[in-house]
Amino acid sequence: MNQEITGHTRLICLLGSPVGHSKSPMMHNEAFRALGLDYAYLAFDVKEEQLEKAIEGLKIFGARGMNLTMPLKNKIVPLCDHLSPAAQLCQAVNTVVIEDDHTLTGHTTDGAGFFMSCREEGVEIKGKKMTLLGAGGAGTAILVQAALDGAEEIALFSRSSSPFIQRTMETVEKLKEKTPCRITLYDYQDDVLKQQMKDSRLLVNATNIGMAPGEDACLIPDASFFHPGLAVADVIYNPLETKLVKMAKEAGCKAFGGLNMLLYQGAEAFRLWTGQTMPVERVREKYF
């Protein structure tokens, strides 16, 4: 059935620039229709310097919440009244819930969405070791969520020349204080990476290496790095199957790309706003 806008329809939106390519309006509005919820999801092109005014407007309009894309994920943090534990550790927010008293609670659903996609593939990280490539926005969210979810050990690879290396080191120290997870930060060296992958349950590429149009690139040099007990995940979903995922499958590993992470991070945001479970199979069938 068609979704009707009523005098009681609550607004939820995406803020960022650009936002025209986003699947979020389609997936959330489809879920609202499926469950008969009186919400509407729209995308607004908002620049960094416009964010504070946009938030004040959304409060006045009685909006229920929003998603944010980079670089607004960091800019929204000081505008939130409360942060979830993961958002506090990441110092990044991609989902905000606006309460009736106009207080803002910031969450990051990227890490939660990633591990929901892992569980769908039969991969659990609790009590296991993970090797993580990249400590940008997605990498930090996955790092934090893995530690909070009970990963025993994380080998984190990030270039020492990265402009975010200081932030990465600070996040690692915070996680060591707040969780029992053992986390070691490494620069990229093939021999070290191969050694750390040997006893890992999960390898995650959270960089943009292998993303279109650079589909031929991969941080793993050859198939000798893989072993049968290793699962391999790539956060990239364009192409749907990266060179890393292809190599891992050919080596006999369970391997999957980032499309379900995109779906499930949205499903977690949907739950936070509505208190209900997104009908992910319906959304997946129509838009993924």
Active site amino acids: 73
Q: Using CB atoms within 10 Å of the CB of residue 4, give its burial: 0 to 12 exposed, 13 to 18 middle, 19+ buried.
A: exposed
Instruction: Report the 10 Å Cβ neighbour count for 279.
Output: 16
Using N-to-C axis directions, what is the helix angle for 137-148 and 165-178, rounded to 10°?
10
* Cα angle value 285/98/65 (rounded, 5°): 25
Residues 6+ apart with CB under 8 A from 160: 187
Query: What does the alpha-carbon distance between residue 230 and residue 85 come to, in Å, rounded to a whole number?
Result: 29
Distance, CA of 28 to CA of 181 (rounded, Å):
35
What is d(CA 286, CA 280) in angstroms, rounded to the nearest whole number? 10
Q: Report the half-sphere exposure of 88 (CA within 13 A, side-chain side).
A: 10
